[in-house]
Amino acid sequence: MKVIGITGGVGSGKSSIVKEMAKRFRCRILMADDAAHAVYLPGNKCYDELVALLSEEILDEDGSIDKKKMSSLIFDNEELLSAVNSIVHPAVKIYILDRIDEARKADDCDFFLLEAALLIECGYNDIVDEMWFVYASDEVRRERLRSSRGYSDEKIDSIMRSQLSDEEFIKGSDFMIDNSFSIENSIMQIEKRIGK
């Protein structure tokens, strides 16, 4: 089983690539957002530590962590943000390593796909066998974000500024998929890479 990190900027089409690969190859998929969601659940050490750090103010009526409440508490507070990240990032990494280990033991897939925008920054090159960068031109990304998510140009600019540049993504990756065109074109690039 090969562990592949799928990364790229907002609107590049990471999720579309992962979905298409799942249709065509024997894959297990883990979206890093799902891993983060799992560690936020009550009963997890991460949940307990976040509540201890930020108080029950971040909880919903049902006792779960409300990410919007948490975000508003840590917004513009570098110290709190750093403290939250020091709790969440290691917990997410452990969760991901456990899922990879389960997949290896099950021996039921050829590829374990880990999808997230922050894989390179968070040091996941040490965990994956290969890091794949999903590239799309700025124009294509902007159009996708306007049409599919209804983002304003200001919001798109803000998100893009906060992410790695294409050059940084390329430097931290083993393979680049140009996803500016059709998904079929992207799959052809992937098939060439894996020798299909």
Q: What is the pLDDT of residue 184?
A: 96
Whether residue 16 is contained in a domain is answered as yes
The answer to the question of residue 83 being in a domain is yes
Q: Is residue 26 part of a domain?
A: yes
pTM for the model stands at 0.89
- Whether residue 89 is contained in a domain is answered as yes
pLDDT < 70 stretches in the chain: none
Domain of 172 in residue numbering reads as 2-191
| Res 32: pLDDT | 87
Q: What is the pLDDT of residue 108?
A: 96
Cβ-Cβ contacts under 8 Å for 185 (sequence gap 6 or more): 178
Structural domain contains residue 196? no
Please tell me the total count of domains within the chain: 1
Helix axes 45-54, 78-106, angle to 10 degrees: 170
Average pLDDT, whole number, for the chain? Answer: 95
Identify the CATH number of the domain in which residue 131 sits.
3.40.50.300
Q: Give the model's pLDDT for residue 183.
A: 95
Please count the helices (runs of H) and the strands (runs of E) in the chain.
9, 5
Residue 67 within any structural domain of the chain: yes
